[in-house]
Structure 1
Amino acid sequence: MKKIVTVFSVFMLLFITACSSDTTSGNGSGGSWEPEKPIELVAPAGAGGGWDTTARMAAKVFEEEGIIDQGIGVVNKPGGGGAVAWAYIHSLKDSPYNLFVTSPPMLLVPLNGQSEFDFKDFTPIANLIADYAAIAVRADAKWNNLNELLEDMKKDPSSISVVGASAPGSMDHIQFVKVAKAAGVDITKIKYVSDQDGGALTQLLNGNVQVYSTGVAETVEQVKAGKIKVLGVTSEERLQGEVLEDFPTVKEQGIDATFINWRGFFGPPDMDEAALAYYEEKFKELNDSEAWAEIRKQYGWSEMYMNHEEYVKFLAEESDAMKALLDELGLGK
């Protein structure tokens, strides 16, 4: 009898040890996980834009600060306003080695029917920054503030063309529409010109269009050169930094509208909980580092950290708000 008990005890000890080994290996949702090979960060657009810059700067700080030991490569997958990259990541179901950076087009592009995948088809990890929209005109334009421009648009919205680098119904379009709607412009009559080949600014400077809807960072050098003036930015308060601090906000001009170009990182669908927890911790460490604070300052980004749970809730609320605007424009799917 004693021999049977002893054998049973040994068996149970081996069983418990095996279970413990399984849960700590990262193969199960309850264990820990660390990367064992290089990580890919996908920027769903070409080099030089906000997605690309955010991915490359994050990879740089992760490696230089030793936050993540494995190598991190940034891969550009442009096309479809982000849809090409999302389809690629979606095909890598549950991979913990393929992440991507994204922003409001992750909501807008699926809502207007240009992608079969939306934010619910992926694993939100953490949001890091907030960027903002700028509404700009040529330096010699007759409008010196946003109200002057929007008053003219109230009278005849289609007489003034607005150019942006995104597709109709995506970010550059919607950020302007949100401001115009708050000012009382008939947004269904706004003439929006999409130039996704890098020529939006050129169209403004050549006089082909009158208004440029873009990101704040894209305006700084042109303002310094005396080529354009920024009539308003969509942040709650004035931004800090050379040139940026001179840009008036939309709200300070009496128009109750803001637009946040949030930017963060996602993983493929069904990412293991242990891998999600690992990345959530690492992005928090990145966000809190002095090196990342310097990057934010360099590019005029504001801190907007959200963990996985906060991000999921935020995305659902933003998606509802964007859908309402697209439906009003007749661009919802």
Structure 2
Amino acid sequence: MIETSLSVINKPGGSYGVALAYLSQFSGDAHRVMIQTSTPLTAYATGQIKANYFEFTPIANLISEPIAFIVRAESPIKTGRDLADRLRADPASVSISLAAARGNAYHIASALIARAVSADIKKLKIVVFNSSGEAMAALLGGHVDVLSVTPGNFLPMLQAQKIRIPAVAARERLGGPLAVVPTFREQGLDVVFDVPRGFIGPKGLSADQVRYWDGVFQGLIKTDEWRQALERNQWVEDYRNSADMGKDLKAQYEILKDVLTELGMVK
């Protein structure tokens, strides 16, 4: 699909701020693209990223990862409605673990559950860990009640019945081992939020440059290797071209900004 070699450059830090600062040096250069998710949208809304995020060029969104709410097997929280009812009665009565920062997609999804039952989202008991593995360890150890996370890495624990998933914040039921897990919508709660995974490019890419990358990714999603990766990781294929991805990013940004403002995180 690409007739030249690829190099992966890791630019961690600043909630994608370091990566975006690097990308901004190459205006109009389609030889550099960045894998991205909703994290820079949060960072832009909260002022952590100073560059105008929407000046970068959306190229394609490939997948969305559903956000699941996981409990221990013996937890009294049996359903998504149970979780919502507890939050309505007392938002601080349920400790919700997540990685790796407040205000991220997992925090937003938690807040949307509370919002759905008119609970005060500022009173949620959010416990932040450095990784989802640490958050899961805390859950299994009984130190927190719920884990908000993308579930792909924890399917063996689900199949071993060490954990349960009362609900997933997806538009519709997922496949594979997660087919038995109901959505929040099935349980009467309008909670849909996921983690998109896609690519953006530097500012100022031309229509021809964007079409080139669209062709590359359109070819990728037709391969057997891609289908296997979707199934293995429980990803939801959610291909959007540049124009549609741009619209979706702006729509998600408005949701993020609205919730973050209510949380007092927008300066």
Asked if the contact 2:136/2:147 (under 8 Å) is kept, the reply is yes
Alignment counterpart, residue 267 of structure 1, candidates 193, 201, 206: 201
1:187-198 → structure 2 map (5 Å cutoff): 187-197=121-131, 198=133
For residues 89-168 of structure 1, what are the structure 2 equivalents within 5 Å? 89-168=23-102
Match of 1:331 in 2: 265
CA distance in 2, matches of 1:182, 1:257: 7
Say which one has the larger Rg: 1
The alignment's TM-score, normalised by the length of structure 2, stands at 0.92
Q: Is the 8 A contact 1:90 1:121 kept in 2?
A: no
Of 220, 226, 229, 1:286 maps to 220
Counterpart of 1:210 in structure 2 is: 145
**CA shift for structure 1 position 189:** 0.7
Q: Secondary structure at the match of 2:174?
A: coil
Deviations 1:223-264 (A, max 9, x none): 1233221111111221111x2112121111111111122211
* Counterpart residue identity of residue 143, structure 2: N
Unaligned runs of 5+ in 1: 1-66
SS at match of 1:128: strand
Q: Which runs of 4+ in 1 moved over 6 A?
A: none
For residues 113 and 161 of structure 1, what CA distance do their matches in structure 2 show? 27
Match of 2:180 in 1: 246
Q: Which amino acid aligns with 2:134?
A: G
1:199 matched to 2:134? The reply is yes
Kindly tell me: are residues 92 and 291 of structure 1, through their superposed partners in 2, closer, same or farther at Cα, counting changes over 3 Å?
same
Question: Conserved in 2, the CA contact under 8 Å of 1:219 and 1:230?
Answer: no
Determine which of 152, 156, 161 is the counterpart of 1:226.
161
Deviation at 1:327, TM superposition (A): 0.9
Gaps of 5+ in 2: none
Deviations 1:43-82 (A, max 9, x none): xxxxxxxxxxxxxxxxxxxxxxxx1111123333332332
Aligned letter for 2:252? E
Q: Which has the higher contact order (CA 8 A, sep 6+)?
A: 2
Report the Cα offset of residue 195 of structure 1. Answer: 1.2
**TM-score normalised by structure 1 residue count:** 0.75
Which residue identity does 2:251 align to in structure 1? E
Aligned counterpart in structure 2 of residue 171 of structure 1, from 100, 105, 110: 105
Conserved 8 A contact 1:106-1:118: no
Q: Residues 118 and 208 of structure 1: is their aligned pair in 2 closer, same or farther, counting only changes over 3 Å?
A: farther
Deviation of 1:118 after TM superposition, in Å, equals 4.8
Q: Percent identity?
A: 33
- In structure 2, the partner of 1:57 is none
Secondary structure, aligned partner of 1:268: strand
- Spell out the pairing of 1:8-157 with structure 2 (5 A cutoff): 67-157=1-91
Q: Give yes or no for contact 1:81–1:167 (8 Å, CA) kept in 2.
A: no
SS at match of 2:26: coil
Deviation of residue 273 (structure 1)?
3.7
Counterpart CA distance in 1 for 2:74 and 2:105 is 26
Partner of 1:15: none
1:180 corresponds, among 114, 121, 142, to 114
Cα displacement string for residues 150-188 of structure 1 (whole angstroms, at most 9, x for unaligned residues): 212211111221111131111111122112211332212
Give the secondary structure class of the aligned counterpart of 2:33: strand
